[in-house]
Amino acid sequence: MTDLSTFQITRRWPARYPDRIQLYSLPTPNGVKVSIMLEETGLAYEPHLVDFGRADQKTPEFLSLNPNGKIPAIIDPDGPGGRPLALFESGTILLYLAEKTGKFLPIDPAQRWQAVQWLMFQMGGVGPMFGQLGFFHKFDGKDYDDKRPRDRYVAETQRLLAVMDGWLAGRSWFVGEDYSIADIAMLGWVRNLIGFYEAREIVGFDRFTHVAAWLERGLARPAVQRGLDIPSRA
């Protein structure tokens, strides 16, 4: 039996199945990247809800795993060399799980780097910009009299959607016909933009027809549907 007791985080979130990957997360756009990937790969894992309402992400136990205090994070009891490995940052975890399973990251070097470049596009652009738009459109920022910050992020979100839309013309997924970690990284963010952030109209989402068709294809995948609700908030 794998012993994970050396990891401080297991004192707050005990592992019932220590031989499985331990997932510490919340079903946010960043969090669901990893739960979707785990569902897609079929790896055995145990999810633990990190409740932002209780500031779980700021506790010493969580910070011992991710000093940046962000979800998601994992412990793989069967890491390189058979030793447990702890990781944070959603993009890093996607790359790790793709390497571990040989899935959703093309073998061909050129296509592989295409997948990585679109993953970086999500990490550096889509996530931060969509998130800022959500703040200024739906949350506290909406009450600011000065609408220039909101308008800036509306414009940048539209620009990013246009980049995505142009690339997806004639393609099913971001790497041609191969569904990959690039798609997994972006699905939750685009869904959140027009759903939870209620920004469909303000960004004119319906004119980005290729992105809309790609989102529909992605959300139809059973593993995506399951992963979007993991860990359960109940």
CATH number of 9-103: 3.40.30.10
Q: Closest Cα to residue 188, out of 90, 98, 47?
A: 90
> Could you read off the pLDDT of 111-142 as tens digits, one per residue?
999 999 999 999 999 999 999 999 999 999 99
> Could you read off the pLDDT of 176-190 as tens digits, one per residue?
899 999 999 999 999
Average pLDDT score over residue span 79-107:
98
Average pLDDT score over residue span 69-82:
97
pLDDT tops 90 at residue 31: yes
CB 228 within 8 A of CB 220: no
pLDDT tops 90 at residue 3: no
CATH number of 109-223: 1.20.1050.10
Return d(Cα 74, Cα 50) in angstroms, integer: 12
Q: Where are the domains of the chain?
A: 9-103, 109-223
Cα-Cα end-to-end distance for the chain = 29
pLDDT tops 90 at residue 210: yes
